[in-house]
Amino acid sequence: MVMHDTIFYWSHRFMHWRPVFPYFHRGHHRFVTPMPWAIYAFQPLEAVTQSLGILLIVLFLPLHPLALLLFLG
* Local structure of residue 35 (DSSP, 8 states): S
Who contacts 9 (Cβ-Cβ below 8 Å, separation ≥6)?
Answer: none
Who contacts 35 (Cβ-Cβ below 8 Å, separation ≥6)?
Answer: none
pLDDT digits (tens, 9 = 90+) for 23-69: 988 888 887 777 787 777 788 898 898 888 888 888 888 888 898 88
Domain boundaries, the chain: 2-72
19 — pLDDT class (breaks 50, 70, 90) = very high
Nearest residue to 7 via CA among 42, 43, 51: 51
Separation of alpha carbons 64 and 57, rounded Å:
12
